[in-house]
Structure 1
Amino acid sequence: MLILSTEKLPDECKRLLPNARDQFNEDDVPKADILMLWPLQAKVFLPKAKSVKAVQTFSAGVDDFPFSLLPKGVDVFSNAGAYSVSVAEHAFALIMTLAKGIGKRDRTFRPYPLTGVNLMVLGGGGGIGSEVARIGKMGFNMYVIGVSRSFKRPELFDEKHNISELKDIIGKADIIVDTLPLTKLTDGILNYDMLSRVKENAIIVNVGRGETVVEEDVYRLLKERKDVRFGTDVFWRKNGVEDFNSKLWELDNFTGTPHTGGAYGNDVVKTNAIIEACKNVYNYITSGKAENKVRIEDYL
């Protein structure tokens, strides 16, 4: 079985996958059984991959994956969970910044208590959402409300809801953390109608995908309600490219970072993520029980 990787494979990967190559030429692609790559790279490789049976991405998100080019019957597996700790830590960095006024020089700023408050995690069933829930519960004794299709670690949540219930329950949360992937269902789910239902002094943080929040609507909300605070690590794409130049920066009740939550630039984090992808491919080959199989119908 021939496995081709667009990333240099650590020794652990070579031990697990002795048939994997991280150096190959164009002639190898039509013979590959499994491709390991970043979603945007699939546009180049899929048209040539005549024998491919499965694709493993190095990224957690797959909204950039060209599913329309995917041959029928080919499975796609994401690397969901590989960056969970980094992104969850980053979510709480944004929460702390908004709650405690870190970086503010205004003595009239009113700090926001965190211990014991209601934390709502959108996409709480995934790896990032579960880690956000764990930190909130264990670190701050928060009451944790999960909103997800399913839950990997249900014991971390005091309440569990389906996303179809969000409109009725969003007003219960003091802090809302959006970890949602971008799919047909979640695109623009946090629009003005939804956002206007948040409670007084709510903090909203997005570490999922920018387009799950409507930019114009969150801007309008923050202008109208100075009590609400919003932070994001993910921004909106303009002409297919994530654009960090948002007018939200002009608002005092906003903070943001330029999609650095995954800590991709950290060699240790990146290496560990590649190893997680290799482990998933190993499980696929040896038992057929790989995790994070993508529901392609969510994207087409």
Structure 2
Amino acid sequence: MQKRKIVITHHLHQNLIEQIKEIIPDWSIIVGNDRDIWQEHLHDAEIIAGWKKGMEEECLAPQSKLKWLQTWSAGVDSLPLESLESKNITVTSANGVHAYPISESIFALMLGLTRKIHTYVKNQQEKKWHHSGIKLEMHEKTIGIIGVGAIGKETAKIAKAFGMKVLGVRHSGKQQEYVDEMYSTDQVDVVLPNCDYVVVTLPLTKDTKHLFDSKKFDLMKPSAFFINIGRGEIVVEDHLIRALQNGIIAGAGLDVFEQEPLSGDSPLWEMENVIITPHIAGSTEHYNQRVIENVLLPNLKNYISGNLPSVNHVNFSKGY
């Protein structure tokens, strides 16, 4: 009888592999970054952890044995969700493993813009001793967190250490620790005019695509900074560029873009009031460990017991 099989498309330390073996000792466990390691196993893998481009042909074929897909990212917008749903394949995401690194990145961008760190790095490269007009403080300002999940909660927690007022937006509008005032997603326009910093941590769905357009930027303070670590397509990038060029908002810290890599001819590269990072806000030395120990292992225990994986179970209708 053929062994049941799990394919993990990332390199793992041996101690993580051993933890997986403890739960499924009789399974065939295929692990590795290199496509040559796992490509031939896709057609009969019952579980795949880490979706890769080009898997559709094998994993969605009629003879595929795939029952459960564990993603390696929080966002699932790049997946063929309709096809996965039609084949009744359970999908779980890596939501929650990014809370520490992304909240740190958010504050790095906020502090960098507020205290002009990017300007002084450029000055240093030119051996230029110049004040550069620094004046702003972040303490006791108001932050609006658009999308209060695990990342948003951790961001709110840090914001309280700066004495900030925290306004939050989430689909349900349900109250959250560290958030002073919570609003539902249809109340974003009420929140924006009150914020000194607007931080987008939303997933990309049909409802959030191009949510931030010129109308939203017009509602913001001219002194406000816009931070996006969610998905680039949540923003109409041309509208953001015009808002930055025309002083509608003060500046932006951007980790995600409508098209990635960001085109070399984008005006964003040359803007003094913009900090760009290349979609790395969630990168951390602990990433794989958290995906395995916080998400995959508890879900795997449920799965082999005959239950659906419950941690980060993706709702196909919501898109996250």
**Normalised by the shorter chain, which TM-score bucket?**
0.7 to 0.9
| 3-state SS in 1 of match to 2:256 | coil
Q: Aligned partners of 1:128 and 1:295: how far apart in 2? A: 19
AA paired with 1:72?
A: K
Letter in 2 for 1:269: Y
How far residue 152 of structure 1 moved from its aligned partner, in angstroms, is 8.7
Are residues 20 and 90 of structure 1, via their aligned partners in 2, closer, same or farther at CA, if it must alter by over 3 Å? farther
1:43 aligns with 2:46: no
- In structure 1, stretches of 5+ residues that fail to align are none
- AA of the residue aligned to 1:218: L
Aligned to 1:207: 229
Question: Which of 143, 155, 161 is 1:119 aligned to?
Answer: 143
- Residue of structure 2 in register with 1:177 after alignment: 199
Q: If you compute each CA radius of gyration, which structure gives the higher value, 1 or 2?
A: 2
Q: Which amino acid aligns with 1:252?
A: E
Assess, with a 3 A threshold, how the Cα gap between structure 1 residues 79 and 198 changes in structure 2: closer, same or farther. same
What RMSD, in angstroms, separates the aligned Cα atoms of the two structures?
2.5
Match of 1:275 among 293, 302, 305: 293
User: In the TM superposition, what is the alpha-carbon distance from 1:203 to its structure 2 partner?
Assistant: 1.1
Aligned-partner residue type, residue 75 of structure 2: G
The 8 Å contact of residues 105 and 281 in structure 2, kept in 1 or not, is answered as yes
Aligned length: 293
Matches within 5 A, 1:138-153: 139-150=161-172
Deviation at 1:278, TM superposition (A): 2.0
Which letter does structure 1 place at the counterpart of 2:140? G
Q: How many Å apart are 1:50 and its aligned residue?
A: 2.2
Match of 2:19 in 1: 15
Distance change >3 Å, CA 38–CA 52, structure 1 → 2: closer
Q: Which amino acid aligns with 1:158?
A: D
After TM superposition, the score normalised by the length of structure 1 is 0.87
Note if contact 1:40-1:66 (Cα within 8 Å) is conserved in structure 2. no
For residue 166 of structure 1, what is the aligned residue in structure 2? 188
Question: What are the ranges of 5 or more consecutive residues in structure 2 without an aligned counterpart?
Answer: 32-36, 124-129
Q: CA deviation at 1:62?
A: 1.2
Deviation (angstroms), 1:150: 4.0
Indicate how the Cα distance of structure 1 residues 79 and 280 shifts in structure 2: closer, same or farther if over 3 A, else same.
Answer: farther
Secondary structure at the counterpart of residue 113 of structure 1: coil
Q: CA-to-partner distance for each residue in 1:198-256, whole Å, 9 max, x for gaps? A: 0231111111111111110011111111751111011222xxx4425331122221111
Q: Quote the offset at 1:4 in angstroms.
A: 2.0
Distance in 1 between residues matched to 2:55 and 2:175, nearest whole Å: 31
- Give the deviation of 1:7 after TM superposition: 1.9
